[in-house]
Chain A
Amino acid sequence: MRDAIAAEWWKLCSVRSTRWVLAIVAAFVVLLLALAFQEAQIFDGLAPGRREKLALRPLQEMSPWVTGLCMAVTGVLTATSEYRSGTIRSSLVAVPRRSRLPAAKAVVVTAVSLAAGEAATLGTFLGSRLVIGDRPFVDQRAPLPHDLPGFGVEAVSVPVFALLGLALGLLLRSAAAAITAVVLLWHVLPLLVFHLPAPWNERLGSVMLGGLGPRAAGHSVENSIYGGALPPWGAAALMLAYALLPLVVAVSVFARRDA
């Protein structure tokens, strides 16, 4: 298994798409920090009463959301690029035990996307705190050690999206189909649910993957399209299910299918 993981790691590092995705994530963090700078300027220009309404958290929470999409695409591509190029057969000749190959992929995808998610999320959080300096934004008054773990937890949604992407890629074997499915889960479905009449928008909105990260971290989802019906531990458990159930299905289908 260690060899298979090392091989998958090598594979992921030796294609350009991985570097592109990571570069885009990094660029996005920089963009967010620029926007944070902008918000700091706005803050200075506001009357004290209106300052209380300017929150920085929506900006900080953009980071795991977008990184989640990016890493989901990486997850999709680790599976579909092999099918498109035919490398899947070389991979299976090298690692013939059927569940081992996708398991190794899952380990590598989890590691890379967790690292990217934490780096982007914590980077945005710490960076934006640095940018605003000592300006007392209404939601940035807690000391760093108090807020930091929450963002650390929120970033865990990134590997969940990545594993979901990997599972969809293994199942659908087509980048177009799998990325479309990811986009449906990441964007379209939450939007549809949001437009349902109460109480279903709240109920279903609470089980949408995109809202689970903030919920698991105990953050408020009041101003988002997601619902907050789940307790943090429930959201965390559901996230785990989102990561593992599709993957288990995908691996068992993969194990039975001819390559």
Chain B
Amino acid sequence: MTDAIAAEWYKLRTACSTAWILAVVAAFVVLSALSSWYLAHYWDGLSPRRREEFDAPSADQPLSVALPVCAVVLGALTVTSEYATGMIGTSVAVLPRRRLYAAKALVAAGVMLTAAAAGTAVAVLAGRAIVGGRPVPVLGAPLADGVPHLLLTGPVAAAFTLIAFGLGAVLRSTAATITTMVAQMVVLPTLTGLLPSPYGERIWSALPEGLAEQIAAPPGVSAGPGVLSAPVAAAVLLVYVAVALGAGRLSFLRRDA
């Protein structure tokens, strides 16, 4: 298994797309820092009364919008790019499929977890340093409040990577996988807003996008309509991951490469 993981890591590391995805993550970290800087200066220019009403997003807000997209693209490409290039034949020939599938999933999830956690940490710490002593709401909140968010952002991003990975193994098409995942993350939550209460909120709470917010929302962000506690939301997200990985595995092992 170690060999399989080492091989997959080598493959992922040498793929151009991985570098691009990490570059996008890095760009959004920089954008987050810029946004913190701008907000801090904006705060300085506000009258005391308007400061009362001012509500800034958390320091890593720009990054947190882009992370799910990056996670999905990485997860999808890990498996679909091999089908697109036909390299899957070579991969399957040199490794047992079971092990190949597991190694791919592990490596992709590991890379995304690390990138998301590191990126978020940098964005938050940079924001903290830039805002300094200004009592900007959320941005200036004590670091300790953000610890759960910091710790959980990585795993949540990895979960999105794994869901996309499983779906990619079923669909075997980059375009279809990314589009389906994006639709599921953006369109479905919006649709639930059209449903009557409490059904809309309940369904929203059970969608991956909603679960992510219920598990690892940044501190002080106005809570979404979520009805689940963080541990329950985490459990539901794990069910999504398990189902996607299971379906992907079935397709990966059973169908011809």
- Direct A–B contact in the complex, CB atoms closer than 8 angstroms: yes
Q: Is the CB of A77 within 8 A of B175?
A: yes
Assess the B174–A175 pair: CB atoms within 8 A.
Answer: yes
Whether A188 pairs with B183 at a CB distance below 8 angstroms is no
Whether the pair A177, B176 counts as a contact (CB closer than 8 A) is: no
Q: Which residues of B contact A69 (CB under 8 A)?
A: 179, 182-183, 187
A183 within 8 A of B: yes
B84 on the A face (CB < 8 A) = yes
Residues of B close to A196: CB separation below 8 A: 35, 38
- In the bound complex, residues from chain A placing their C-beta under 8 Å from that of B62 are 192, 195
Interchain CB contact under 8 A, A188 and B65? yes
**A220 contacts the other chain (Cβ, under 8 Å)?**
no
Q: Does A180 contact B (CB under 8 A)?
A: yes
CB distance from B13 to the nearest CB of A (A): 17
Digitize A16-32: 1 where CB-to-B-CB distance is under 8 Å, 0 elsewhere.
Answer: 01001000000000010
User: How large, as a class, is the contact surface on chain A?
Assistant: 20 to 34
The complex places the Cα of A179 from the Cα of B61 at a distance, in Å, of 22
CB of A19 to closest CB in B, whole Å: 13
Q: A69-B182, A187-B186, A192-B62 are in contact. Are A38 and B196 (CB under 8 A)?
A: yes
Enumerate chain B residues within 8 angstroms of A153, measured Cβ to Cβ.
none
* A62 contact from B20, B61, B174, B190, Cβ within 8 A: B190
Contact A59 B69 (CB under 8 A): no
Give the residues from 29 to 50 in chain B that come closer than 8 angstroms, CB to CB, to chain A: 31, 35, 38-39, 42
B35-75, CB under 8 A of A: which get 1 and which 0?
10011001000000000001011000110011001000100
What are the residues of chain B within 8 A of A70 when measuring CB–CB?
179
Binary per-residue interface labels of chain B (20-34) against chain A in the complex, 1 for a CB within 8 Å, 0 otherwise:
100010000001000
| B38: chain A residues within 8 A (beta carbon) | 196-197
A130 at the B interface (CB under 8 A): no
Q: Does B115 contact A (CB under 8 A)?
A: no
Tell me if A17 and B175 are in contact (CB < 8 A): yes
Which one of A31, A73, A80, A180 contacts B73 once the chains associate, using CB atoms below 8 Å?
A: A180
Let me know if B194 is at the binding interface, CB within 8 A: yes
Query: A73's contact among B76, B81, B179, by CB below 8 Å, is which?
Result: B179
Measured in the bound complex, the distance between the Cα atoms of B180 and A17 in whole Å is 13
Q: Does A88 contact B (CB under 8 A)?
A: no
- B65 — which chain A residues lie within 8 A by C-beta? 188, 191-192
Q: Could you tell me the distance between the alpha carbons of A175 and B179 in the complex, rounded to whole angstroms?
A: 10
Complex Cα–Cα for A175 and B171 (A) = 15
For residue B56, which residues in chain A have a CB less than 8 angstroms away from its CB?
197
Q: Considering the chains assembled together, what is the distance between the CA atoms of A174 and B80 in angstroms? A: 13
Bound: A94/B147 CA distance, A: 60
Q: How far is the CB of A52 from chain B (nearest CB, A)?
A: 17
Residues on A with beta carbons closer than 8 Å to the beta carbon of B35:
196
Q: Within 8 Å of chain A (Cβ to Cβ): is B143?
A: no
* A118 touches B (CB below 8 Å): no
A176 in contact with B194 given A184-B66, A188-B69 (CB within 8 Å) = no
Name the residue of chain A whose CB is nearest to the CB of B61. A195
| Contact of A176 with B178 at beta-carbon distance under 8 Å, contacts A39-B194, A188-B66 already known | yes
With a cutoff of 8 Å between Cβ atoms, the chain A residues found around residue B39 in the complex are 197
Contacts of A97 in B (CB 8 A): none
Residues of A within 8 A of B24 (CB): 180
CB distance from B160 to the nearest CB of A (A): 13
- Note all chain B residues with C-beta closer than 8 A to A35: 191, 194-195
Mask, A51-68, CB within 8 Å of B = 1, is 000000011001000100
A187 touches B178 (CB 8 A): no
Centre residue among A70, A84, A180, A184 by max chain B CB count within 10 A = A180
CA distance A84 to B66 in the complex (A): 26
The distance in angstroms between the C-alpha atoms of A69 and B182, with both chains bound, is 10
Given A69-B183, A175-B175, A176-B77, 16 other A-B contacts at CB below 8 A? A17-B176, A35-B191, A38-B195, A66-B183, A73-B175, A73-B179, A174-B17, A176-B81, A180-B73, A184-B66, A187-B182, A188-B69, A196-B38, A197-B39, A197-B42, A197-B54
Residues of chain A having any CB pair with chain B under 8 Å: 17, 20, 31, 35, 38-39, 42, 58-59, 62, 66, 69-70, 73, 76-77, 80, 84, 174-177, 179-180, 183-184, 187-188, 191-192, 195-197
What are 16 A-B residue pairs whose CB atoms fall within 8 Å in the complex? A20-B176, A35-B191, A35-B194, A39-B194, A39-B196, A58-B194, A62-B190, A62-B191, A69-B182, A76-B175, A175-B178, A179-B179, A180-B73, A180-B178, A188-B66, A197-B42
Pairs A-B, 8 closest by C-beta atoms: A175-B175, A195-B57, A176-B174, A42-B196, A179-B178, A175-B174, A197-B42, A191-B65
